[in-house]
Amino acid sequence: MVFTHRKDLLGLADLSRDDIDTILDTAVPMKDVLTRDIKKVPTLRGKVICTVFYENSTRTRTSFELAGKYLSADTVNLAVSTSSVQKGESLKDTIKTIEAMGTDVMIIRHSMSGTPHYVARNTHMRVINAGDGAHEHPTQALLDMYSIREKKGSLEGLKVAIVGDIEHSRVARSNIIGLSKYGCEIRVVGPATLLPAEIEALGVKKYYDVEEALDGVDVVNVLRLQLERQKKGLFPSISEYSQRFCITHKRLSVAKKDVLVLHPGPMNRGVEIDSRVAESAISVVNEQVTNGVAVRMALLYLMMGGAA
Amino acid sequence: MKLLIKGGRIIDPANNLDMTGDVLIEDGLIKAVAPAITAGDDAEVMDAAGLIVCPGFIDMHVHLREPGFEYKETIATGVRAAAVGGFTTVSCMPNTDPVCDNRAVASFVVEAARREGLVNVHPIGCITKGQQGQEITEMAALVEAGCVGISDDGKPVMNAEVMRRALEYALMFKLPVVSHCEDANLSEGGQMHEGYYSTLYGLKGIPAVAEESMVARDIMLTRMTGSRLHIAHISTRESLELVRKAKESGINVSCEVTPHHLTLTDKELAEYDTDYKVNPPLRSLEHVEALIAGLRDGTIDCLASDHAPHEKEVKDCEFNLAAFGISGLETAVPVVFTHLVATGKVDVNTVVKAWTVGPARVLGLDRGTLTPGKVADITIIDPNESRRVDPQQFYSKGKNNPYKGMNLKGWPYATLVNGRVIAWKGQLV
């Protein structure tokens, strides 16, 4: 199974289509647990999960924590801002400390790409990448894929547009890698300064014009625009960005009738996505959050609960 | 004191020599090179059958870290690494602490190396005071203290006016200006070569043009000033094209390439192993292939290790936080022999030239040949010796080496300085 011969989940690049199917299939009954009155199953009793987030997060960290709790694991969060990291403790020493306390799974988010790989090399704990720099955010892509599959029935051959700051987006990379395994036609659109070098070599089509990119698509995944990028000179102003790339109903009129809109959150309403779109029936923004818990439960279960 | 090196394949590119024969050394000098030499009973004989006998290898780009960074390397450990690595002469970069921008630091380096007495060490002084890129150094004093070139290695001289004046001033001393070509604005925050793999791995890229634009600028300044320019660790196809064209039009420019830029690509960063983090970054395959072609056709004058030893702590950490650099003195020779010579990509004569007469000409050293009468600095290679790289066994303090665990074939057999064997089969004598 997915984690029989694999210790960690560092990126979707490491998973096969079968692996992803297994995770998404396992998430279906997990979502049922979430909708019950008593949201608890004893599967992971006695297991310990530690989340270590070097970057701010609302949904990913809470989602992992609740996923662990619903499966009866003990979950702790290392608050990096109040930990010994602030006293200059190295990452390696931090890992060893967490390991020494009996932790089974360490879930790490870090601003620097590849840090989960470094952690995984230096510990016996299982490691889940909860987002590393501009590299991968595998559980976000898994929950996006779950959300799409749930609405569309299948991922096979869908046309998906990813809109915004592709250069700095780990969500974009994991989505591209994951959806490519299902033969999706993936389009990326954003300002030329926010599309990374040789992005087309990843098997995607590149657009600068949002209407062209949205023409006939089944799914639009809208990325969060990190406003500080403007100060780095990567685009001239928020207003010009919004005028060219904000996802509005008008722009979506060229997409398929049953187009689905995703956003990993947190949203800058009126910048990359129009509030009316975010709150409309075609948006699955809130369901994505629910599905995120289900997918993470599935992952933790597959990692520690034995064979699926 | 007589030593007869017998029956080796003698390669001496400066004399267009590639033959099986003997080398006789007497009193630290080359006495004779011939197919068969009969020495008297007083001569010690070294059997070199199956070995390659070359002029002593010169590594014109190493970081010995002393003064200031003795926890990374010292002159004592650095020259030992050089000796077992097959090098008889090194020139060391000035980015120490304090930097080598004045007579006192240059004299200290020369004196400390002389005390070790192993390999020849020639400091390269700074282009600008404090490596700040603002005011040019007292080059007359640097030359008097023993500097053979100037460079702000690691820190490009961003101000073109300063670079122009440095090139002009260096003319008076026939000093090569060794340029680390990197536009610091274009490379800022970069972690690896910009391209497909930087996009895939999500690491900030260093575009090839960060190097190429500065190569172009420095070549133009050199054309204007009539000075001597040496491009350090050239790493891209277009940089090489610029050098090729400059040479064709008679501009006095030379360049060097490292073994790692000839043998590793940006793809290798998949596991975020910081031992592969180096500046200039490992480039993509088309650049690597162009560099190999450039070495083959003589556009590239020198091989140089850019030996950059670091302590464990600055490599055993997050990728973005890790220091750039490879501790390469002890693997440079076998890497090149394994990946370039044995594979037939580059002729062994070309390799020997780039490690001997090539750097000797750039630095103006009376070294790099086996001409009778010259100092008997000799490097002997065993092309059939196969060994696994274990950085923990390095003489260098820096264990940061991406070839760790790999089997390499073609190691230094003996290193001779002034006719004396200083290293033999990977060990100091």
Judge whether B330 is closer than 8 Å to chain A, CB to CB: no
Judge whether B2-53+374-428 and B56-363 match in fold: no
Phi, psi of B54 (to 5 degrees): -130, 160
Query: How many interface pairs between A and B have CB atoms less than 8 angstroms apart?
Result: 70
E strand or H helix at B263, and its extent? helix B259-263
Angstroms from B198 CA to nearest CA on chain A: 8
Across the interface, do A199 and B201 touch by the CB < 8 Å criterion? no
B427 touches chain A (CB under 8 A): no
Buried b (16+ CB within 10 A) or exposed e, B275-286: bbbbbbbbbbee
Give the whole-angstrom CA distance, residue A90 versus residue B188.
24
Give the pLDDT of residue A306.
57
Please indicate whether residue B306 is annotated as part of the active site: yes
Rounded distance between C-alpha atoms, residue A103 and residue A101, angstroms:
6
In sequence order, what are the beta bridge partners of B29?
B26, B375
The model's pLDDT over B345-368, given as tens digits with 9 standing for 90+, comes to: 999 999 999 999 999 999 999 999
Q: Which residues are paired to A51 by β-bridges?
A: A77, A107
- Tell me: the pLDDT tens digits for B132-182? 999 999 999 999 999 999 999 999 999 999 999 999 999 999 999 999 999
A197 touching chain B per CB within 8 A: yes
Domain ranges, ordered by start, for chain B: 2-53+374-428, 56-363
Q: How confident is residue B417, by pLDDT bands cut at 50, 70 and 90? A: very high
Any chain A CB within 8 A of the CB of B284? no
Mean pLDDT of A209-233: 92
Burial of A81 per CB tally in 10 Å (0-12, 13-18, 19+): exposed
pLDDT tens by residue, B188-244:
999 999 999 999 999 999 999 999 999 999 999 999 999 999 999 999 999 999 999
A113 contacts on B by Cβ (under 8 Å)? 191, 201-203, 272, 319-320
Give the best residue of B188, B193, B196, B200 to mutate against chain A (max A CB count within 10 A). Answer: B200
Q: Are B361 and B353 in contact (CB under 8 A)?
A: no
Dihedral angle of Cα A230, A231, A236, A238, to the nearest 10 degrees: 40
Residues 6+ apart with CB under 8 A from B20: B7, B8, B9, B10, B35
* Structural contact between residues A59 and A290, judged by C-beta atoms closer than 8 angstroms: no
The residue assigned the tokens 């002389």 is: B114
A166, A169, A198, best to mutate vs chain B, most B CBs in 10 Å: A198
Task: Please tell me the predicted confidence (pLDDT) of residue A308.
Answer: 40
| Partner residue facing B318 (CB), from A91, A173, A202 | A91
Q: Which CATH class for the B2-53+374-428 domain?
A: mainly beta
Among A117, A191, A200, residue whose Cα is nearest residue B201: A117
Residue in A closest to B208 by C-alpha: A197
Backbone conformation region of residue B269, classed left if phi is above 0, alpha if psi is from -120 to 50, else beta = alpha
A115–B202 C-beta distance less than 8 A: no
In this complex, the residue of B195, B202, B272 whose CB is nearest that of residue A134 is B202
Q: Burial, A267: exposed, middle or buried (Cβ in 10 Å; 0-12, 13-18, 19+)?
A: middle
Residue B392 distance to chain A (closest CA, Å): 19
Q: Comparing C-alpha atoms, which of A122, A51, A59 is closest to residue A292?
A: A59
Q: What are the structure tokens assigned to A114, written together? A: 């590849």
CA distance B415 to A247: 68
Q: What is the CA radius of gyration of chain B?
A: 20
Alpha helices in A189-262 (DSSP H): 210-214, 238-245, 249-252
Q: Name chain B contacts of A89, Cβ cutoff 8 Å.
A: none
State mean pLDDT over A260-276.
96
Q: State residue A303 phi and psi, 5-degree precision.
A: -75, -45
Domain spanning B56-363, CATH architecture: Alpha-Beta Barrel (3.20)
Q: Distance (Å) from the C-alpha of residue A45 to the closest C-alpha of chain B? A: 33
Two tokens, residue A94: 């931090």
Residue of B22, B152, B218, B306 marked catalytic: B306
Using the structure block, give the residue that is written with the tokens 């926890």: B71
How does strand A74-79 pair with strand A48-53?
A: parallel
Q: pLDDT-derived band of residue A88, with 50, 70 and 90 as boundaries?
A: confident
C-beta separation of A135 from B202 below 8 A = yes
Q: What percent of chain A has pLDDT over 90?
A: 89
Mean pLDDT in chain A?
A: 95
> CB–CB of A262/A255 below 8 Å?
no
| A307 pLDDT tier (thresholds 50, 70, 90) | very low
A196-201 mean pLDDT? 96
Alpha carbon distance A229, A235 (integer Å): 7
How far is A206 from chain B, CA to nearest CA, in Å? 14
Residue B91: name the closest of B150, B138, B156 by CA.
Answer: B150
What rounded mean pLDDT belongs to chain B? 98
- The residue-averaged pLDDT of B286-290 equals 98
Per-residue pLDDT at A182 exceeds 90: yes
What pLDDT digit, counting tens, does each position of B24-47 carry?
999 999 999 999 999 888 999 999
Asked whether the beta carbons of A195 and A167 are under 8 A apart, the reply is yes
Report yes or no: B321 at the A interface, CB cutoff 8 Å.
yes
The one-letter amino acid at B406: M
Write out chain B residues lying below 8 Å of A202, CB-based.
196, 199-200
Q: For position A5, what pLDDT does the model report?
A: 87
Q: What residues of chain B lie within 8 A of the CB of A170, using their CB?
A: 202
Which tokens in the block code for residue B335?
A: 């890497």
Interface check for A180 against chain B (CB to CB < 8 A): the answer is: no
